[in-house]
Chains A and B, each alone.
Chain A
């Protein structure tokens, strides 16, 4: 059941000039979060900016067994993200959630490949934790502009996740898009090992990953980002073209039917 809380900012860690991790004291929301779900947040109480913004839950934070809150991975690009970047402990953020359809967390013998581009890393910390609980062999393919844009690598390693990195400038890992090492891995992989692919990042990247997965006959789930008004199915703004069972493409609300979709059902050429 989604809740709306007026969450106190516990900490705001700047990871770079553009990225930060914001920790919110929202245990009642956090304790319900499943990997891939999102929250609708609004810093400040005024009418400008007016609407909330959707954010994947980055981490569910615990003090021993007790859930204490959640964190958001934020990249400053617009008005709201600039406000979220500038918050200080003690500030408050409206936080409504958790919302949306989560990832399906696979089980052995299937292994998991998580493919992240930039701020698309956000849903994979909670997914990695859930996969670890089930002893699923997990790899993170993670791309960014340069080495300084790749975060939380140690945290993923500590969760037993193998890392394959890529940067546009070649300062860390393979030079180029994350799809470069991913394509190589698809070719090198033992076909007999069942693999589920999870992708989140720029639309062009998720489309390329979906095409690779299809070529190699692997299941793929993508977490899509669409301009969203309410997060609850009220406004019909966040639609995604989806095609199922050979039928015509239909525009479905990504807040209810997503944000996680079977990549093979998304009509990518109709998606901006």
Chain B
């Protein structure tokens, strides 16, 4: 039985639901020699501000049990250089490009979005209101319902592209943030970004990261991320891109069954840059085994009949 892996999310057609996660795949072009970028569902490029940024000094990552902390600090080339130098290459490789946009101010988000609206080859904008590693912007907006609404509305006003706010898990009730994003005009939401965390070298009594704190990713966070996708799905009628520690097809399936139309894979790409084919093969096998013709037949099909559920969400 042939199966159709393609999904549509926020008006974006993806060949399959597997998207390279922002911050974990450079600008995509770094991987073009290793991986056929057109075989990925999409490529979410590293977060872009208006101008270039140096990011934090090393040490920028530290491994933790089944996970890693990062505090890169959004080093980047700025949106104009991205449009001039990277976007044409991504287009030439046939990648579906999701541009992760950042700002220290609401105006900066809007200006980055406006520049990208004029550029060819931008599939969607992922609005980064969830980076835990920068002093101004990022999670500062994403931890406030009003900040979330303000950024999303400002981006919505200046772009025709799908607007996909990327939500932080560092809040009590993530579903209320998904609802705020929807009310401000978002086409979908992606979740979760990393969990604010830290690690200490007990011999020196120094933090292991130069930035003191960083974001936790990897399999360690996956069950919490799945729960948050589930909560958003139950509370808000908005397409979801799920992520958080996906290492295998089975992990991705958890997110899809919980309600994600597509998923992003980040940390796993560091361990295995050739993971994409394995995910596609695994998903194909699963759909065939379960007699499903399309991925959307599976999205949000969690069966919780006869289960008492205790809600933390609104």
A contacts, CB < 8 Å to B: 1-2, 4, 42, 47-52, 94, 96, 226-227, 229-230, 232-241, 250-251, 256, 270-272
Contact B67 A50 (CB under 8 A): yes
Complex A-B: 26 CB contacts under 8 Å: A2-B34, A4-B274, A47-B66, A47-B219, A47-B247, A50-B63, A50-B66, A50-B267, A52-B271, A94-B272, A226-B58, A227-B61, A232-B26, A232-B31, A234-B24, A234-B25, A234-B31, A234-B269, A235-B70, A235-B270, A236-B60, A236-B75, A237-B70, A240-B58, A251-B58, A251-B75
List, in ascending order, chain A residues with CB within 8 A of B272's CB: 4, 94
Report A39 CB to chain B, min CB distance, Å. 13
Closest A residue to B54 using CB positions: A251
Question: A96-B273, A230-B270, A236-B46 given as contacts; is B30 within 8 A of A48 (CB)?
Answer: no
Query: Are A235 and B271 interface neighbours, CB within 8 A?
Result: no
Cross-chain contact of B34 among A94, A232, A237 (Cβ < 8 A)? A232
* Nearest-Cβ distance from residue B194 to partner chain A, whole angstroms: 13
Of chain A, the residue at the smallest CB distance from B72 is A236
**Is the pair A235, B24 in contact by a Cβ cutoff of 8 Å?**
yes
**How many Å from the CB of A52 to the closest CB on chain B?**
6
Q: With A and B bound together, what is the CA distance between A50 and B65 in angstroms? A: 8
The size class of the interface chain B forms with chain A is 35 or more
User: B59: CB under 8 A from chain A?
Assistant: yes
What 1/0 flags go to B22-57 for Cβ under 8 Å of A? 011110001101100000000000100000001101
Residues of A with C-beta under 8 A to B66: 47-48, 50
User: What number of residue pairs across chains A and B have CB atoms under 8 A from each other?
Assistant: 99
Residues of B near A42 (CB, < 8 A) are: 271
Report chain B residues within 8 Å CB of A2: 34
Q: DSSP majority for the B interface?
A: loop
Q: How far is the CA of A92 from the CA of B61 in the complex (A)?
A: 26
A79 nearest CB neighbor, chain B only? B63
8 new A-B contacts at CB < 8 Å, known A227-B62, A234-B24, A251-B54: A47-B219, A48-B66, A51-B271, A227-B61, A232-B30, A235-B72, A236-B23, A239-B58
Chain B nearest CB from A236 CB (Å) reads 5
Which of chain B's residues have a CB closer than 8 A to the CB of A271?
58
Residue of B nearest to A53 (CB): B63
On chain A, the residues within 8 Å of B271 by CB distance are: 42, 50-52
Please determine whether A229 and B55 come into contact, CB atoms closer than 8 angstroms: no
A192 to B216, CA, bound (A): 55
Please tell me if the beta carbons of A236 and B68 are within 8 angstroms of each other in the complex: no
In the complex, whether B123 has a CB less than 8 A from a CB of chain A is no
Q: Which residues of A contact B46 (CB under 8 A)?
A: 236
A96 to B57, CA, bound (A): 27
- Which residue in chain B gives the minimum CB-CB distance to A249? B54
Kindly identify which residue among A51, A94, A239, A241 contacts B270, using a CB–CB cutoff of 8 Å.
A51
- Distance from A47 Cβ to chain B, minimum over Cβ atoms (Å): 4
Taking the closest CB of chain A, its distance from the CB of B58, in whole angstroms, is: 6
Minimum Cβ distance to chain B for residue A172 (Å):
29
Given contacts A42-B271, A229-B68, whether A234 and B30 have CB atoms under 8 Å apart is yes
B218 within 8 A of partner (CB): yes
- CB-CB under 8 A from A256, the residues of chain B are 30
The residue from B67, B219, B269 contacting A230, defined by CB atoms under 8 A apart: B269
- What residue in chain A is nearest B71 (Cβ atoms)? A237
The reply to whether B60 and A227 form a contact with Cβ atoms under 8 Å apart is yes
Q: Which residues of A contact B31 (CB under 8 A)?
A: 232-234
**CA of A52 to CA of B270 in the docked complex: distance in angstroms?**
8
Shortest Cβ distance from A271 into B: residue? B58
CA distance A184 to B112 in the complex (A): 57
Contact A233 B30 (CB under 8 A): yes
Expressed in whole angstroms, the Cα–Cα distance for A257 and B33 within the complex equals: 17
- Least distance between B16 CB and chain A CB atoms (Å): 20
Partner of A237, one of B65, B67, B72, B219: B72
Shortest Cβ gap from B255 to chain A (Å): 17
Chain A contacts for B70, CB-based, 8 A = 229, 235, 237
Question: Which residue of chain B is the closest to A250 with respect to CB atoms?
Answer: B54
Question: In the docked arrangement, what's the CA distance between A250 and B76, Å?
Answer: 11
Closest chain-B Cβ to A106's Cβ sits at a distance in Å of: 28
**Which of chain B's residues have a CB closer than 8 A to the CB of A238?**
58, 60
Q: Min CB distance, B44 to chain A, in Å?
A: 12
Residue of A nearest to B273 (CB): A232
Residue of B nearest to A270 (CB): B57
Q: Mark B260-272, 1 if CB is under 8 A from A, else 0.
A: 0000000101111
How many angstroms between the C-alpha atoms of A56 and B55 in the bound complex?
27
Across the two chains, which residue of chain A brings its CB closest to B27? A233
Residues of chain B within 8 A (CB-CB) of A270 are 57
A49–B68 Cα gap in the complex (Å)?
Answer: 10
Closest beta carbon of chain A to B89's beta carbon, Å = 14
Give the 10 A-B CB pairs with smallest separation, nearest first: A233-B30, A230-B270, A237-B61, A237-B60, A47-B66, A47-B219, A48-B66, A234-B26, A229-B270, A236-B72
A50 to chain B, nearest CB (A): 6
Q: Closest residue to A239 on the B side, CB-wise?
A: B58
A50 touches B218 (CB 8 A): yes
A236 touches B273 (CB 8 A): no
Q: 8 Å CB contacts to A: which residues of B242-290?
A: 247, 267, 269-274
